[in-house]
Amino acid sequence: MKGGRRGAAAFAVLAMVAMTACEREPRRHVVEIGAMAYEPAALEVAMGDTVAWSNGDVVPHTVTFANGESDADHLDRGDTLEIVAREAGTVQYRCRYHPSMVATLIVR
């Protein structure tokens, strides 16, 4: 009987740890725009997380998604765009003004 109680107790603890891991607080991630690039160029986030693009470059930029969802038409130096990741998937985005600026957002 003792082994059964220990096994049940261990299972209960593991279940609580798993529930806690799934119920984590949303995080905020920052993509810095500078030197004509998005940094990081690839970012993986969880659903519910916030992603903020901050333009520290001397010229304006955009954050234009390939799927047409959520974009910033114009970010001057010091401007920020924030979105909350609501759908899982991978999407590329770019700057409309500077086509060589391309990056990827991965939402799990």
Residue owning tokens 């999407």: 91
Predicted local distance difference test score (pLDDT) of residue 26: 97
Stated pTM of the model:
0.76
* Nearest CA-CA partner of 44 in 103, 2, 101: 103
For 66, the token pair is: 């390939």
Q: What are phi and psi of 36, to 5 degrees?
A: 60, 40
Question: What distance lies between CA 82 and its chain's CA centroid?
Answer: 10
* Nearest CA-CA partner of 46 in 87, 78, 97: 87
Per-residue pLDDT of the chain (108 residues; tens, 9 = 90+): 455 555 444 444 444 444 445 678 999 999 999 999 999 999 999 999 999 999 999 999 999 998 766 577 799 999 999 999 999 999 999 998 999 999 999 999
Predicted local distance difference test score (pLDDT) of residue 91: 93
